[in-house]
Amino acid sequence: MNARQTPIPWTWRRRLKVGLLSILALTAVTGTIGIVYALYPRTLPQTGPLEARLLPAEIERLRSVSDFDGIADPASRSVAFFEEAGRVLQHPRCLNCHPRTDRPTQTDAMRPHMPWVTRGLDGGGASTLRCSTCHQAENFAASGVPGNPKWKLAPIEMAWQGQTLGNICRQLLDPTRSHMTRDELLHHVMEDELVGWAWHPGGNRQPAPGTQQEFGSLIKAWLETGAVCPQ
Amino acid sequence: MSFALSVNGQAHLVEDDGDTPLLWILRDRLSLTGTKYGCGVAQCGACTVHLDGQPKRSCSIPLKAATSAQITTIEGAEGDEVRVVQAAWVAHDVPQCGFCQSGQIMSAIALLRHNRRPTDQDIDLAMSGNLCRCATYNRIRVAIHTAAAQLGQST
Amino acid sequence: MSDLAEKNPRTLLTRRRLILGGSLVGGALVVGYVATNPMQVVGAILQAGGGDPDPSAFGPFIRITADGWVTIVNKQQELGQGIHAGLAAIVAEELDADWDKVRVIDARSNVRAYGVQITAGSNSIASNWDLMRNAGAAARAMFVDAAALRWDVPADKIIVRDGIVSHPISNRSATFVDLLGDASRQTPQQSPVLKQPRDFRLIGTDRVRRKDSLQKSTGAQVYTQDVQRLNMLVAVVAHSPRFGGTLARFDATDALRVKGVVEVFAIETGVAVLAETTFAAIQGRAALRIEWDDSEAEMRSTDELTRYYQDIAAGRTDVEPSEFQATGDGPETPFDGEVAEFAFDFPYLAHAPMETMDCVAEVNGWDVSITSGAHLATIDQVQAALTARTMPGKVNIEVLPAGGSFGRRGIMSSDYLVECVRIAKRMEGRPIKLIWTREDEMASGYYRPMSHHRVWVELGSDGFPTRWRVHTVCQSLLPVGPNLTATEGIANSPYFSTATTVDGKIFTPAFPVIVGFWRSVGHSHTAMVMEHIIDQLARRAGRDPADYRRVFYEKAGDNRRLAVLEELCRRADWDKPLEAGWARGLAIHEAFGTVVGQVAEVRMMEERPVVRRVVSVVDCGIAVAPDQIAAQMEGGIGFGLSAAFYGEVTLQDGLVQEINFRQYPILRMNEMPAVETHIIKSANKPTGMGEPGVAPIAPAVANAVLALTGEATQRLPFLNRDARNSAGFSV
């Protein structure tokens, strides 16, 4: 014990010296950095007038019924009406909710819906994860989630994804699959608010071409000219 | 504008823009902070509450659309399902960071109210709208099965 | 009671602090001690001018109260990894406390009291193992001494179990509470006797459970996002959409018209909008008109950067490499014999913790008070002091549990915390809660850096490497010093053991995209490089991937990897074939001192891998909390799979394309495989567990895909940008 105690005064002084020096050095370094940082000049802009930048919106048009007057053959004209209306039917806004599986797609790229949702018994989602968990009666700008009071999937018999326009046409005309008479079909495309959503999808979604009115007129003209389907 | 809300059985009069997400009303105006902000775009489920018993993402409901419903948050959730779910969550040490768990639990409670004996597939269907970045999914699954078994015993 | 304490009670307190504390500094009396301990010096400087934490007779980490509760003060940050329970268990083990009467509170930032508070590198258990054991054992000894005095029996005949101190010979016993007064007056022993690991009764058992599960299951846990203060304003900040961009001009007219918006001003990182509520602030920000100065900004797209990296690795740019490993003949010697070539590309990855970045701060004169999930509390404290131009000791951080971090909150620049202090400084006297939206978080950088690896392996006639050449291109995570994290996991790999020459070069390009620490850091890509190459080489040599690995480990004398490999093959039924369409993939990687092996069971479905089960074996030294080790393995695998399947942050003309979970999907319930975790029994000091589970899963899956399809994986994620959102196959 004595042997260990003897050098204490020396160690003590040495420790003190080393300690104070390192404290001083560290303080100096920290202080210098702090001062340099504090005095580093910066100027920040103040608010001032700036023009709002509006993004040009691209709107796709539909051809009107009269644009097809040049086609003399009623059958050909009927097909032409349906093909023009097909630009709406096969638009992502419509196809996304006419999937051929139980899972809808989303976005213009028609990617599978995230999260994983299924149609459920009524097309409104599984009983434990309903469409209405996220989708409300209106598009909601704050969350970017689209909405409609009727938000749900088309029945599986009305799957359009992966179908030719001709097949979609025959599907529409088949009451066992479309569950609609021709009158009901016309009323559906002209008046239905979920169909109408396709032209008011909210957010930065590309709306379906034309207007619901123009689309309805094309369908009406197609039905009136014999409802001929493309191949 | 002012809106009448019923949250956890209590009536509130809230003065705010009708397009404010319910999430921020609950958190900032009513101090019900158990409901979390995770993404704001209905992708993560951390903000799940019940409207008339149905799970909803409160980030995606405008204040004006929530006035007619009975709103339940994690703070006010009650009943057998709540009790067994929370007990199972503790028994299996489900949470890691815990931030998503209010939402997970609100979804799990709704699942068990619809389906007393959910299969793995049922759990996937009900719970895949709730993200967990810590990936506690396997424990959530086990805890839901445990809770369901508890419910089966008690009824 | 010792003479020393009777003479000078202050000396007792000081001694107590020195023995029980993290690095406590008393007064002038212990200057000598301070001088020889650099941490004491740092502590003294950092806490100068600051208050003392509330003192306890049992040191800063242990409080025992008359109601029977033992409260452990957790100096690390709880961000999901369960560190609060791990550290508490270590203390409780040595203290022999009743685990059911142990609770945990989080320490504020205070270097003087707790030592350096940095939660990083999966080392919270490893680096506090001795400290916590000593703290517990010293407190235990105080109870033993108190009982020995009271009962007048020798201390070494006294035992402690579950908070009960007893002397079996005389059949006397007392609780901690009974002895509390006497024990707190005892002099702590400088080197208390620690238990032998074989005598552990709590550590390593399933009794070590989280203490926060209840509050996290009832919505009661308070996170920074939930903090409310009287008179508080919520701030959101408009940041430059491009890395390196700066604010040129802005117009706040419309923003100030939003109801609830109180203030709009420029700060160093953008334009701050302050409002009474979060949503008003978000709306106010949306109404700002801003012009950014992109003259110094990164304007390139990911495709260009990928080509740039490939050019760098091929030596076609002016980015000069430095050697990270050079053994044998040197790079000039030409290859001789069969050479296998490999190339890998890895993307930027965002952390996406469920709780976005947030912080509450108030500046009052010299005092700065902060509430945040401060990951690197000590660094955050210094950064906050520099920002507010005060002394670090005047910065008081209340550390809250974070809703995840995965490295995002562990930022040396303390970016969002500093941003909050800047705003609070400007609004002196008013509490400010800074909230980042998900979009802010994902576009903010500090990404796992993108990287490109080119590897050449010269093979001997036996099919084993005789020579390795590795060229890695990766930004550095630190502004100075060697770029070590880019090659951790490659440098000194056991797979170099059969080679005579290893030539490893790292190219470190620098440009404005901000990179940072991301759960498992460099291992998040290097494990894929090494483990996927080894499987390809094994196939080339016509060897079983497990047998092939064994040769390297034996040659390298790597007994831990060998033990993990053997256990893994046994647990995963490696030798038994799976049903048609399924295959196993194996990977073993060491990170942060922990060896993890994983076998994934995989099938292909519409050209993407689906994983149904992962068997994991881990050697992390003494397993403190086995159930939390399993939890970290499950979480690590889920985290690693998210990255492997989908994880990719891309730039288009410098703009981040993945800004929310819509574009940056993470694994969901229906995609999570079953996970089994087996722990190798060990008497070594514990090593980390938060990160090592992440790294092996991508190569395990890639190796299974290789077995199924014969195709090697050259880039991650497995799903490209178009296919990425086709998530959701159920296993």
Q: How many CB pairs under 8 A join A and C?
A: 95
Q: For CA atoms C342, C343, C347, C348, give the dihedral sign.
A: positive
Three-state DSSP state, A118: coil
> B19 and A115: CB-CB below 8 Å?
no
State residue C35's pLDDT score. 42
CA dist., res. C687 & res. C129, Å (int): 10
* CA distance, residue B104 to nearest chain C CA (Å): 9
For residues B89 and B121, state if they share a domain. yes
pLDDT in tens, C702-719: 999 999 999 999 999 998
Question: Are B71 and B85 contained in the same domain?
Answer: no
- Among A14, A103, A113, A116, pick the best mutation site for testing chain C contact (most C Cβ within 10 A): A116
Cβ separation A16–C31 shorter than 8 A = yes
A118 contact residues in B (CB cutoff 8 A): 125
Residue-wise pLDDT tens digits, C417-433: 999 999 999 999 999 99
**Residues in contact with A199: Cβ distance below 8 Å, sequence separation at least 6, in sequence order:** A207, A208, A210, A211, A212
B86 and B139 belong to one structural domain: yes
Region of A109 (left: φ > 0; alpha: ψ -120 to 50; beta: rest) is alpha
Here the ipTM equals 0.97
Which residue in this structure is represented by tokens 């690896």? C453
- A39 shares contact with chain C (CB less than 8 Å): no
CA C520 to chain B, closest CA, distance in angstroms equals: 14
Q: What would the mean pLDDT of C130-141 be, rounded to a whole number?
A: 94
State which amino acid sits at residue C65.
Answer: T
Decide if A69 is inside a domain. Answer: yes
Q: Using H for helix, E for strand and C for coil, what is the string for C499-520?
A: CCEEEEEEECCCCCCCECCCCC
- Condensed to tens digits (0 to 9), the pLDDT of residues C478-531 reads 888 899 999 999 999 999 999 999 999 999 999 999 999 999 999 999 999 999
CA dihedral A188, A193, A194, A195 (to 10 degrees): 50
Same domain for C247 and C209: no
Residues C628 and B10: beta-carbon distance below 8 Å: no
Contact B45, B27 (CB under 8 A): no
Asked whether residue A38 is domain-assigned, the answer is: no
Task: Enumerate the residues of chain A whose CB falls inside 8 A of the CB of residue B122.
Answer: 128
pLDDT tens-digit series, residues C476-485: 998 888 999 9
Phi, psi (degrees; rounded to nearest 5) at C42 = -60, -45
In a domain? residue C314: no
Query: CB A67: neighbour CB atoms within 10 A?
Result: 13
Q: Are residues B29 and B92 in the same domain?
A: no
Residues C605 and C464 in one domain: yes
DSSP state of C567: H
3-state secondary structure of B49: strand
Query: Which of C376, C408, C435 is the last residue before a domain boundary?
Result: C435
Instruction: Output the pLDDT for position C649.
Output: 97
Residues B96 and B35 in one domain: no
Starting at the edge strand that comes first in sequence, how are the strands of the sheet with C674-679 ordered? C582-591, C594-605, C608-619, C674-679
CA distances from C348 to C95, C404, C650, C713 (A): 46, 19, 7, 17
- Residue B116: pLDDT above 90? yes
Do C202 and C234 fall within a single domain?
Answer: no
- Which residue range forms the structural domain that includes residue C129? 3-213
Above 90 in pLDDT, residue B95?
yes
What confidence score (pLDDT) does residue C8 get? 44
**B6 and B72 share one domain:** yes
- Which residues span the domain enclosing B95? 80-154
Determine whether the interchain pair B65/A127 forms a contact, defined as Cβ–Cβ distance below 8 Å.
no
pLDDT band at C10 (very low <50, low <70, confident <90, very high): very low
Chain B residues whose CB is inside 8 A of the C638 CB are 132, 134-135, 137
Q: Are residues C148 and C241 in the same domain?
A: no
Asked if C660 and C721 count as a contact pair (C-beta separation under 8 A), the reply is no
Is the Cβ–Cβ distance between B71 and B8 less than 8 Å?
A: yes
- Which pLDDT band holds residue B132 (cuts at 50, 70, 90)? very high
Q: What is the CATH number of the domain that holds C637?
A: 3.30.365.10
Identify whether A205 is part of a domain: yes
Q: Shortest CB distance from C251 goes to which of A30, A50, A112?
A: A50
Complete edge-to-edge strand list for the sheet that includes strand C102-106: C62-64, C70-74, C102-106
Q: What is the C-alpha to C-alpha distance for residues C348 and C355, in angstroms, rounded to an integer? A: 20
Type of residue numbered B33: T
Nearest-CA residue of chain C relative to B127? Answer: C669
- A98 closest CA partner among A178, A161, A186: A161
Q: pLDDT tens-digit profile of A45-86?
A: 999 999 887 777 778 899 999 999 999 999 999 999 999 999
* Chain C interface test: which of B16, B75, B134, B146 (most C C-beta within 10 Å): B134
> By percentage, how much of chain C surpasses pLDDT 70?
92
Domain extent at residue A217: 65-224
Region A204-224: mean pLDDT is: 95
- Are B90 and B71 in a shared domain? no
- Dist. CA C206–CA C213, nearest whole Å: 15
For position C52, what pLDDT does the model report?
64
A 10 A CB-CB count for C47 gives 24
Give the CATH number, domain containing residue B21. 3.10.20.30
Question: Do B125 and B84 belong to one domain?
Answer: yes
DSSP C358-427: EEEEEEETTEEEEEE--TTHHHHHHHHHHHHTS-GGGEEEEEPPPS--TTTT--TT-HHHHHHHHHHHHT
pLDDT of residue C11: 44
User: What's the confidence (pLDDT) of residue C27?
Assistant: 31
pLDDT of C49 strictly over 90: no
- Alpha-carbon torsion (C24, C25, C30, C36), positive or negative: positive
> Who among B60, B115, B124 is closest to A145 (CB)?
B60
pTM value is: 0.92
Burial of C318 (0-12, 13-18, 19+ CB in 10 A): exposed
Helix, strand or coil, per DSSP, at residue C77: coil
Q: What is the mean pLDDT of residues A170-195?
A: 94
Same domain, residue pair B101 and B150: yes
Q: Do C458 and C385 reside in the same domain of the chain?
A: no
Looking at the structure of chain A, the number of domains it has is 1
Cα dihedral B74, B78, B81, B83, rounded to 10, equals 90
| C271-275, C434-438, C718-722: least confidently modelled range | C718-722
Confidence class for position C727, pLDDT limits 50, 70, 90: very low
Indicate whether A197 belongs to any domain: yes
Q: Give the dihedral sign, CA C456/C561/B137/B41.
A: negative
Asked whether the beta carbons of residue B60 and residue A126 sit closer than 8 angstroms, the reply is: no
Domain count, chain C: 3
Same domain, B42 and B8: yes
The per-residue pLDDT for range B73-86, each reduced to its tens digit, is: 999 999 999 999 99
Residue C317 lies in a domain: no
What is the spatial distance between Cα B145 and Cα C460, in angstroms, rounded to a whole number? 54
Which of chain A's residues have a Cβ under 8 Å away from the Cβ of C665? Answer: 114
Give C356's contacts in chain B (Cβ within 8 Å). 37-38
Give the sign of the dihedral formed by CA A97, CA A101, CA A105, CA A108. negative
Q: B28 and C278: CB-CB below 8 Å?
A: yes
Enumerate the residues of chain B whose CB falls inside 8 A of the CB of residue C662.
41, 43
Q: Is the pLDDT of residue C48 over 80?
A: no
What pLDDT does C19 receive?
52
Q: Residue C667: its chain B contacts at CB < 8 A? A: 135, 137
Facing A19 at nearest CB: one of C41, C291, C665: C41
* Per-residue pLDDT reduced to its tens digit, B23-57: 999 999 999 999 999 999 999 999 999 999 999 99
- Do residues C492 and C388 share a domain? no
**Do the domain assignments include residue C443?**
no
Among the three residues B58, B76, B94, which one is the final residue of a domain in this structure?
A: B76
A210 belongs to a structural domain = yes
Dist CA A7 CA C727 (whole Å): 72
How many domains is chain B partitioned into structurally? 2
Report the residue of C216, C628, C661 to disrupt the B interface, i.e. the one with the largest count of B CBs within 10 Å.
Answer: C216
Contact with chain C for residue A112, Cβ under 8 A: yes
Looking up residue B138, the CATH number of its domain turns out to be: 1.10.150.120
Smallest Cβ distance to C249: which of A20, A23, A48?
A: A48
Which of C185, C213, C241 is where one domain is finished?
C213
**pLDDT score of C110 more than 90:** no
Q: Are residues B59 and B98 in the same domain?
A: no
In a domain, C383, yes or no: yes
Residues 126..165 of A with a Cβ closer than 8 Å to C: which?
Answer: 142
Do B38 and B95 fall into the same domain?
no
Is C163 in the same domain as C247?
A: no
